[in-house]
Amino acid sequence: MVAPIRRRATYEDVLAAPRHMVAEIIGGELRLSPRPAGPHALVATMLGGELGQPFHRGRGGPGGWLILGEPELHLGPEIVVPDLAGWRRERMPAVANVAYFELAPDWLCEVLSPSTEKSDRAEKLAIYAAAGVPHAWLVNPLSRTLEVLRRQDAHWLTVAVHKDDDRVRAEPFDAVELDLAVLWADLAPA
């Protein structure tokens, strides 16, 4: 018996996806995942706020970045939505009035959920490396960890793994100390 030929998903499939789902195209396949649960949403929001003041706005830090929550990225044939992404202003001086971005970010963060962790690690990181993203963070709100990754050639090098209430300087935002306790402070005990 011959397996049916699958058609490659298109941007029209992404646009037709239910609004309550995150739609991505990975390896030509439409992937739908639910909107983030509470711990995921809280940690992404808190991290965006912690980085936004010193790096996006330049308050208490060097500035020089545009940091966006859940931007849709079109990286070649792949369409992905990281939880956070940042571009150095010399590469993207302002945010254009567009639905998606084709310029790969200089940093991105995936907040890991049980339902998306395998894809984030095994598929999306490979897409980001192939697109030339130099820095990635993986944050796990349930284990309260921050993994700092740097692209080396076509692969990722784990630079550091931080946990719990560590105070860290994590590249590429190492100009300012980040208190990880802030990220999990409002999470209910596991």
Architecture of the structural domain at 37-184 = Alpha-Beta Complex (3.90)
The candidate with the shortest Cα–Cα distance to 127, out of 147, 111, 151, 96, is 151
Distance of CA 75 to the CA centre of its chain: 14
Give the number of other Cβ atoms within 10 Å of residue 171's Cβ. 15
Is residue 2 pLDDT above 70, yes or no?
no
Rg value, the chain, Cα: 17
Helices (H), the chain: 11-16, 38-51, 117-119, 125-130, 181-184
pLDDT band at 6 (very low <50, low <70, confident <90, very high): confident
Domain spans in the chain, listed from the N-terminal domain onward: 37-184
Between 30-39, 84-93, 96-105, 139-148, the lowest mean confidence (pLDDT) is in 30-39
pLDDT tens sequence across 105-155: 999 999 999 989 999 999 999 999 999 999 999 999 999 999 999 999 989
pLDDT band at 60 (very low <50, low <70, confident <90, very high): confident
Rounded Cα distance between 110 and 115, Å, is 13
